[in-house]
Amino acid sequence: MAEEKPESTETPKYEAPKKEAKEDAKDESSKDEDAAAQKAPKKKAKKGEKQEGDDEEKPKGGKKKLIIIIAAAAVVILLVGGGAAFFLLSGSGGEEKKAKLNLPPPPGPVTTYTFPKILADLKTGLCKGNYLSMRFMVEVGKNYTKALQTHQLKLLESVQLHLRSLERKDLVGKVGADELRVDITTIINNKIKPGKIEGVIFKEFILQ
């Protein structure tokens, strides 16, 4: 008789659950990937929002800088303008002071001052010429009579030199006398500046 083999007591292996576990793992990994994909755009959006916010903030900062620059320029212009105005005003004030210092003293009440007699040869081409005998007085403020006394000799000399440069025809008639009055007034006023005379009156005027 053949010997009977003993029956195996081992239980067969069950592999089906392993496949299901793998599938579950795949499902979980795909879910994780989907969640990560959904989170990623949100982060990018946030970054994008920050960038947009930065872009909005940058123009504001630029405007502030522009306002500061304009304000600083305005201050500089005001300072420069104020300095120039002060310089001009101070300069004009100095000129006014100088002008006041150079002003002549008040002439005072008008009086007359008489010069000594003048005898002057007139200009001619002949050996024997004509001459003028003249006495005159001037109308002048009382405060200027002292200047006339001080410069009297120089004034007489200047008038005589002027007469010697004239011819007889230059002194004839009213026109000649009026022109001589103007010339004498100019000579005297140039000598006694800042004082001046008001007019010339002839007391004697003889042409020979």
SS (H, E, C) 109-151: CEEEEECCCEEEECCCCCCCCCEEEEEEEEEEEHHHHHHHHHC
How confident is residue 68, by pLDDT bands cut at 50, 70 and 90? confident
What phi and psi values does residue 161 have, to the nearest 5 degrees?
Answer: -60, -40
Is the predicted pLDDT of residue 113 greater than 80, yes or no?
Answer: yes
Taking residue 152's Cβ as centre, other Cβ atoms within 10 Å add up to: 14
Q: In a 10 Å sphere around its CB, with 0-12 CB exposed, 13-18 middle and 19+ buried, how is residue 65 labelled?
A: exposed
Query: What is the mean predicted confidence (pLDDT) over 176-196?
Result: 93
Percent of the chain with pLDDT over 70: 56
Percent of the chain with pLDDT over 90: 38
pLDDT at 153: 95
Q: Please state, in angstroms and rounded to a whole number, the distance separating the CA atoms of residues 101 and 98.
A: 5
Domain boundaries, the chain: 19-103, 110-207
Assign domain 110-207 one CATH number from 2.60.40.420, 3.40.225.10, 3.30.479.30, 3.40.640.10.
3.30.479.30
Query: What is the mean predicted confidence (pLDDT) over 158-169?
Result: 92
What phi and psi values does residue 113 have, to the nearest 5 degrees?
Answer: -130, 125
pLDDT at 184: 96
pTM over cut 0.75:
no
The mean pLDDT of the chain is 74
